[in-house]
Amino acid sequence: MRVEDLRNYGKGLLDAVPDPELVRRQKQMSTIVSEELGRELGHDGALELMSRVKDEVGRMKSHDWSVLTAHGLRDERFVAGVVRRIALMKCLADMVGLEKASAIQCRLLEKTIYELMMPSWPSVEDYLACGDFFLAFRQYTRVTMAANVRDGLHALDIVEDSETALAFNITYCVWHEVAKAFGDPYLCYPSTCYGDDVTIPKVLGKAGPRYRFRRAGTLAQGAPVCDFRYEVVEV
């Protein structure tokens, strides 16, 4: 099998989201999220949260998103999804405090994000079918990130691209920009960025102990860049 033949090769998140199977999984995950929030906040608290989110989303409809369009992002449906995700985190933090809200959101990602997103991308077995796991994974990841840059979701600088490492620094991120518009860049970490810490180690772990993901910091946490590093290590 060629890497180019793997599912969604060359597509970024904008192209993957409309997939009908993903839409079905999103509905399943929404049920899990609703149930978890109901347990945390109670029935009335969950209703209040949704009311607050609706108000925040409505408030942001008049926001100037020219910073997003300047980077090439013009998909209003996608932007609306990002706004709603960050609004949920903000409203949850307003109700229960930032620390507890972060714990809840991270737990929700742990329960949902891998099962939601991974079927849209190649499995470890798919990469192995291309010959060398890391070379296939590296090529696929590189073109996926290029698609995200093209679509205006990210801007990045490649730090290393070799047979044993792929490293890049994300210098601009749509989720980070939306979180800043809500008044706190950190809001996108527990609601979005933490998903990388859940999914990527799972994928690499399934491939074997030689493969590792490292990230020292994120824009959301105040770092100058989100530094992604996938590497092959001695074991």
Q: How far apart are CA 187 and CA 178, in angstroms?
A: 9
Task: Return the closest-CA partner of residue 166 out of 231, 234, 233.
Answer: 231
Type of residue numbered 222: G
Q: What is the pLDDT of residues 10-26, one digit of tens each?
A: 999 888 755 666 667 77
Q: What is the pLDDT of residues 46-99, one digit of tens each?
A: 999 999 999 999 999 999 999 999 999 999 999 999 999 999 999 999 999 999
Lookup result for tokens 């290029």:
146
Say what the pLDDT of residue 19 is: 63
**Residues β-bridged to residue 226:** 170
Task: Return the closest-CA partner of residue 226 out of 211, 216, 235.
Answer: 216
DSSP 130: T
Reported as a pLDDT band with limits 50, 70 and 90, residue 168 is very high
Mean pLDDT of the 108-115 span? 83
Say what the pLDDT of residue 125 is: 95
More confident position, 227 or 119 = 227
Q: Enumerate residues 6+ apart whose C-beta is below 8 A from 146.
A: none
Reported as a pLDDT band with limits 50, 70 and 90, residue 1 is confident
Ranges of H-type helices in 118-185: 124-129, 133-150, 174-181
DSSP 161: E
Q: How far apart are CA 22 and CA 64, in angstroms?
A: 30
In sign, the C-alpha dihedral spanning 141, 147, 150, 155 is: negative
Say what the pLDDT of residue 221 is: 95
Lookup result for tokens 């737990």:
107
Q: Enumerate residues 6+ apart whose C-beta is below 8 A from 99.
A: none
Flag whether pLDDT at 137 surpasses 70: yes
Q: How far apart are CA 197 and CA 42, in angstroms?
A: 29
Q: Enumerate residues 6+ apart whose C-beta is below 8 A from 79.
A: 65, 68, 73, 174, 178
Say what the pLDDT of residue 21 is: 67
Q: How far apart are CA 209 and CA 45, in angstroms?
A: 43
The torsion of the CA quartet 86, 188, 75, 225, rounded to 10 degrees, works out to 160
Q: How far is CA 21 from the centre of its chain?
A: 18
